Structure 1
């Protein structure tokens, strides 16, 4: 057998380890469905109930538009405040967590703090703040600020660690201080990526602000939860349509901003 035939056989040789892993995954999925009582009968019943539920949501009821607008504005305010505070606090955290700029004695505990901010889901954090400071938008702003810090600071630190140190060392060689090094050596290399991170976090907080309200942290989520409890499904549909429209609008605006910065 010539070398070309041997190479072809090796190129298309079966990967028995991968096949075994897929078979094991399939077997475990069937086992897990049985443990969780996921059956075709339950799915069929659920689809039927879902059809009746969707029928009760149509047509959407926008008669209480004042209540809807009030909740949407509060969600937007929560998202903007949380994003601004989270980004502002993430700047020093990202710089301190970058291992190419900070010593290990500073970067290690900073990274641990960032990991702590990311370890709990923002809804759980919102519940904790609701219990600590009471119902309202303040709890939502605090919870989403913590979530923003955990996300932005981590990505910002990783972006700084990927920069070219030659530019930083050149500015240091001129005798420039720390502020000048960061302003002229670090920031120009990460500005576009950092802007993208910030826009994504704002977009994410707009979605998340509608969810924290369900646990009492302000915003349209509280209005949505109250409508569900009243079985006011046509108003629920109006709220959901408004939330989807808000997210689409935010996506269009952020896309225009990214395009303008290229």
Structure 2
């Protein structure tokens, strides 16, 4: 019996691997991708980057402008995440099985979150670009909508994990709905909520760089400007500063998670 179970499991694994290999081969054939040329070009690309993609003295003079644009990108990411977290918490409470009102209202809350979560931030940028044009507001709303969908789902699951016994205990004492939310549910899941918010801030800073290329703002636009003008030294400095900033933010975020969890 056990041997048959493992045999079927191995067979399924082999079938999945064969299917994945077949899809890869079909994709290579359709796109006319030269696998050998792709791998042999890696050393040449690394050599070009080593010879051209590094900051020089002239690029360092642009550091204040780079820092200013990076600061704008970080602040927009934090602002969009903070407001999205506030709205996400409201929708999560309404849609949660533990605290939700149930019925149509709960269904609508979860449905809205699902729709927003399944539309990528880059897609939101292109949609909003038509209405708002290339400005900071476009990037802000794109990050806000993307964060709202993700955080609503994450907050809902965190709230659902709260023990229903404490909620029932408060209800038995005659506590009102808002009292149950503020005295039992929220305090119990605050560490998880903060952890998700920090994760979203990290993610948004990375995404904001790419969004900036579309919206013409922030550090992303500056990188695109330098790269298209063949100023590879300044573009490489942006990459270095951005990587250092992300590492710093991630280190602070990890420390905060260790403290609260």
Cα deviations across residues 223-245 of structure 1 (Å, max 9, x unaligned)? 01111110111111000001100
Residues 98 and 162, structure 2, Cα contact 8 Å, conserved in 1: no
Q: Give the superposed CA RMSD.
A: 1.9
Cα deviations across residues 207-259 of structure 1 (Å, max 9, x unaligned)? 11111100015210010111111011111100000110010000111111112
Aligned match of 1:43 in 38, 43, 56? 38
Query: Partner of 1:156 in structure 2?
Result: 155
Q: Secondary structure at the match of 1:135?
A: coil
5+ residue gaps, structure 2, are none
Residues 203 and 251, structure 1, Cα contact 8 Å, conserved in 2: yes
* Structure 1 segment 208-219 matched on structure 2, within 5 A: 208-216=207-215, 218-219=217-218
Residue range with higher mean Cα deviation, 237-246 or 214-223? 214-223
Query: Partner of 2:16 in structure 1?
Result: 21
Query: Partner of 1:56 in structure 2?
Result: 52
* Structure 1 segment 176-255 matched on structure 2, within 5 A: 176-216=175-215, 218-255=217-254
Query: Partner of 1:77 in structure 2?
Result: 75
Q: Distance in 1 between matches of 2:121 and 2:78?
A: 16
Query: Partner of 1:3 in structure 2?
Result: none
TM-score normalised per structure 2: 0.91
Q: Distance in 1 between matches of 2:46 and 2:257?
A: 40
Residue range with higher mean Cα deviation, 156-165 or 243-252? 156-165
Q: Distance in 2 between matches of 1:66 and 1:230?
A: 19
Q: Distance in 1 between matches of 2:115 and 2:37?
A: 39
Query: Partner of 2:96 in structure 1?
Result: 98
Q: Distance in 2 between matches of 1:147 and 1:24?
A: 32
Measured after TM superposition, the shift of residue 20 of structure 1 is: 2.7
- In structure 2, do the counterparts of structure 1 residues 73 and 29 end up closer, same or farther at CA, with 3 Å as the change threshold? same
Q: Distance in 1 between matches of 2:224 and 2:199?
A: 26
TM-score normalised per structure 1: 0.90
Residues 54 and 237, structure 2, Cα contact 8 Å, conserved in 1: no
Residues 84 and 147, structure 2, Cα contact 8 Å, conserved in 1: yes
Query: Partner of 2:64 in structure 1?
Result: 66
Residue range with higher mean Cα deviation, 79-88 or 16-25? 16-25
* 1:132 matches 2:131: yes
Residues 73 and 208, structure 2, Cα contact 8 Å, conserved in 1: yes
Larger of the two Rg values belongs to structure: 1
| Length, aligned pairs only | 256
Measured after TM superposition, the shift of residue 11 of structure 1 is: 7.1
Residues 138 and 217, structure 1, Cα contact 8 Å, conserved in 2: no
Measured after TM superposition, the shift of residue 189 of structure 1 is: 2.0
Residues 74 and 205, structure 2, Cα contact 8 Å, conserved in 1: yes
Q: Distance in 2 between matches of 1:259 and 1:183?
A: 24
Q: Secondary structure at the match of 2:134?
A: coil
